[in-house]
């Protein structure tokens, strides 16, 4: 149930009384026979299709204990809600994908009157996990390991078609993004012969209210979003397959890959590593009572280092221009996909693939809103969740509602209930709350991160006392201004979590001149390597990639052996450097940041109905033809390898050798 709290002065009491009186008179007339009671609409049987079995089970249990049927590899949950009898089931993700049969250009036929993609059911080998669309041979084997133990989505398609024959209408409630829209369209096409009444339900959180609201506000499938997703998939296939074939052939490794987004992202990792290598310098550490300084003087020469150390041993640290001032610190906005991935990676030490899977589970369990979003907007329902928790925990005075973003369907990532992670854990473990996902400590950790960030975003600012002073070492002409928080004057969002305050704490130094007690030095890089979260933030800032693909791109680079993760930092392998330079040198105009960003903008315009998707596809076909026409020569690659070896200082070795780098 959803409600909104209002001041009594905002409510028209007389109007409410008149409405109640009119309703009372209307009922009296029905009872006396003066008005015949209207016949209610007959109960309709509805096939309600979502993506995840966990989500299907969660939704079904909102409406009592469902009856369950199992056939064709799927479970169907049956419940009644008012004038609808729901049969709730799941597709288990995508059902179809572009064929890899030798049809047209990588499964897409290009004709003068249009472009026609050919699809087949998705298969997944239960032995090796490989996903494919075409069996190997008449024995219907996995093309990788030869196993015949395969999960074929066609079995689910047939099961859905049988269910569709039992119902009056179909409602498709797949995820609220362009990928979910495409899955909905595929389901619509596969089930269209069995019922003419097919609708789309869109919801951004798995709660009883949001499901009922979606069922009462059905819409047609957004064909423009489907077209945009279709173009994305064909572009992935054409550009990905053509470039991957080039890389596989020239490097003689059939497991390599390339892509429009993957290549510039790999380039960031490679270029950052080069900057890292070239930024090695000496750093000097100084201890003077409470002051601990790290001097970055850009020293690369050992002789110069020794000279400065000799001077520092008899030098003084001088504190000048000490000044206090007050400042109001506002909370950060709630999470969207990229910021959630950044913080979960930094604070929880989890990989991006794991984070997205945990978030998916939390969403399907009805605990958070949809986790693939670029929006920080907070809905009225979200504000009400925050009001309830903050008012009860800290008092109404600490609640300050903020919408954060403009209107639209998408919302920030937030909890769906006013329950913190500790209470949630206790409720689940005691059986007070039932969830249909296996919840681990990592789930609770991620939920807690999302919960705290959201609640802080709806709280009052923190007023702090700040201290600013200048640190000087006259003997080496060093000067640096230090600014930090010395005290909290008025609490606000920090009552949820004060890490941002603690991390800015500064030592209040009384003395104006301090003797240096200890001098140390070490060699390190001034430029730090990128982490997974850094890369995801860059993808968002540079607008290449989408929330649904951020984690996939990073994990693909790691799986291909183009980079490794060392101490949470991404380090390119020799193979990764060679592949990037080859692609950039030979096919740079197709995989540049600018070209990739422009294509993403075109996708957005297709979604908005501003660009003809067929024109975009014909343009992509021309690009693919141009790539395929180019011939790669061994001597060209050797020249690129020699150039890379000189730039990076690689020794001689086999082409494409996988090499690990240790931290300096």
**111 beta partners:** 114
Q: What angle do CA 603, 605, 608 make, to 5 degrees?
A: 115
H helix or E strand, kind and range, residue 200: strand 198-200
Nearest to 214 by CA among 407, 48, 41, 394: 48
Q: What angle do CA 386, 390, 395 make, to 5 degrees?
A: 145
Contact present, 495 and 398 (Cβ < 8 Å): yes
Q: Report the C-alpha gap between 489 and 424 in whole angstroms.
A: 32
Q: What angle do CA 544, 453, 341 make, to 5 degrees?
A: 30
Contact present, 609 and 224 (Cβ < 8 Å): yes
Q: Report the C-alpha gap between 544 and 516 in whole angstroms.
A: 49
Active site residue 661: no
Strands 108-111 and 114-117: antiparallel
Q: Report the C-alpha gap between 62 and 79 in whole angstroms.
A: 9
Q: Which residue's entry shows tokens 């890899």?
A: 100
Contact present, 152 and 123 (Cβ < 8 Å): yes
483 three-state secondary structure: strand
Tell me the CA distances in angstroms from 522 to 58, 281, 309, 528, one per residue in order.
56, 8, 12, 15
Tell me the CA distances in angstroms from 115 to 48, 151, 157, 460, 621, one per residue in order.
32, 30, 25, 55, 10
Instruction: Tell me the three-class secondary structure of 240-285, residue by residue.
Output: HHHHHHHHHHHHCCCCCCCCCCHHHHHHHHHHHHHHHHHCEEEEEE
Nearest to 583 by CA among 322, 243, 347, 346: 243
Alpha-carbon Rg for the chain in angstroms: 30
Q: Report the C-alpha gap between 245 and 439 in whole angstroms.
A: 41
Q: Report the C-alpha gap between 78 and 85 in whole angstroms.
A: 7
Strands 84-90 and 44-50: parallel
Tell me the CA distances in angstroms from 134 to 98, 341, 455, one per residue in order.
10, 35, 49
Strands 478-490 and 291-299: unpaired
Q: Report the C-alpha gap between 433 and 107 in whole angstroms.
A: 47
Q: Report the C-alpha gap between 225 and 497 in whole angstroms.
A: 39
Nearest to 495 by CA among 530, 535, 460, 468: 460
419 contact partners, CB below 8 Å, separation of at least 6:
389, 427, 451
Question: 138 exposed, middle or buried (CB, 10 Å; 0-12, 13-18, 19+)?
Answer: exposed
Q: Which of 77, 106, 188, 370 is catalytic?
A: 370
Catalytic residues, by residue number, are 370
């Amino acid at each position: 149930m959803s409600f909104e709290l209002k001041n009594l002065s905002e409510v028209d009491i007389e109007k409410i009384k008149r409405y109640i009186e009119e309703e009372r008179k209307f009922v009296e007339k029905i009872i006396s026979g003066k008005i015949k009671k209207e016949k209610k609409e007959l109960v309709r049987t509805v096939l309600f299709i979502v993506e995840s079995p966990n989500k299907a089970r969660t939704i079904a249990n909102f409406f009592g204990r469902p009856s369950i049927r199992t056939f064709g590899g799927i479970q169907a949950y049956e419940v009644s809600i008012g004038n609808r009898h729901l049969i709730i089931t799941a597709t288990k993700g995508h059902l179809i994908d572009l064929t890899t049969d030798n049809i047209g250009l990588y499964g897409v036929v290009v004709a003068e009157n249009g472009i026609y993609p050919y699809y087949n059911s998705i298969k997944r080998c239960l032995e090796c996990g490989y996903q494919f669309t075409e069996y190997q041979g008449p024995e219907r084997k996995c093309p990788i390991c030869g196993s015949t133990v395969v999960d074929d989505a066609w079995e689910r398609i047939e099961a859905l078609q049988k269910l569709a024959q039992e119902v009056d209408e179909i409602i498709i409630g797949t995820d609220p993004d362009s990928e979910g829209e495409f899955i909905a369209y595929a389901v619509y096409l596969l089930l269209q012969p069995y019922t003419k009444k097919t609708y789309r339900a869109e919801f951004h959180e798995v709660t009883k209210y949001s499901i009922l609201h979606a069922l009462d506000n059905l819409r047609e499938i957004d064909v423009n979003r489907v077209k945009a997703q279709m173009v994305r998939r064909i572009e992935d296939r054409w550009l990905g397959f053509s470039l991957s074939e080039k890389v596989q052939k020239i490097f003689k490794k059939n497991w390599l890959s390339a892509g429009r987004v993957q290549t510039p992202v790999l380039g960031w990792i490679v270029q950052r590593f080069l900057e890292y290598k070239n930024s090695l310098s000496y750093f000097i550490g100084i201890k003077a009572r409470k002051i601990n300084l790290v001097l970055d003087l850009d020293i690369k020469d050992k002789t110069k280092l020794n000279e400065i150390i000799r001077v520092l041993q008899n030098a003084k640290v001088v504190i000048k221009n000490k000044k206090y001032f007050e400042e109001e610190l506002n909370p950060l906005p709630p999470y969207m996909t990229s910021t959630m991935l950044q913080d979960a990676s930094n604070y929880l030490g989890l990989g991006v693939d794991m984070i997205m899977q945990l978030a998916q589970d939390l969403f399907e369990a009805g605990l958070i809103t949809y986790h693939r979003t670029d929006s920080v907007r907070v809905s009225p329902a979200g504000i009400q969740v925050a009001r309830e928790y903050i008012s009860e925990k800290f008092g109404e005075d600490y609640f300050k509602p903020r919408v954060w973003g403009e209107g639209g369907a998408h919302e920030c990532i937030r909890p769906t209930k006013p329950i913190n992670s500790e209470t949630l854990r206790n409720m689940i473990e005691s059986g007070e709350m039932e969830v249909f996902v296996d919840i681990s400590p990592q789930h609770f950790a991620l939920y807690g991160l999302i919960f705290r960030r959201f609640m802080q975003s709806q709280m009052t600012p923190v007023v702090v006392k700040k201290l600013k002073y200048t640190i000087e070492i006259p003997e080496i002409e060093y000067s640096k201004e230090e600014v930090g928080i010395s005290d909290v004057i008025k609490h606000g969002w920090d009552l949820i979590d004060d890490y941002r305050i603690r991390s800015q704490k500064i030592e209040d130094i009384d003395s104006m001149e301090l003797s240096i007690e200890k001098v140390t030095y070490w060699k390190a890089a001034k430029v730090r390597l990128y982490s997974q979260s850094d890369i995801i933030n860059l993808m968002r800032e540079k607008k290449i990639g989408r929330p649904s693909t951020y984690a996939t791109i990073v994990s693909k680079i790691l799986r291909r052996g183009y980079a490794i993760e060392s101490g949470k930092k991404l380090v390119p392998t020799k193979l990764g450097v060679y592949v990037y330079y080859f692609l950039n040198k030979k096919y740079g105009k197709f995989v540049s940041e600018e070209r990739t960003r422009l294509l993403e903008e075109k996708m957005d315009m297709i979604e908005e109905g501003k660009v003809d998707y067929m024109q975009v596809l014909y343009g992509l076909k021309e690009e693919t033809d141009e790539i395929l026409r180019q011939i790669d020569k061994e001597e060209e690659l050797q020249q690129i390898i020699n150039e890379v070896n000189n730039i990076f200082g690689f020794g001689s070795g086999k082409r494409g050798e996988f090499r690990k780098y240790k931290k300096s």
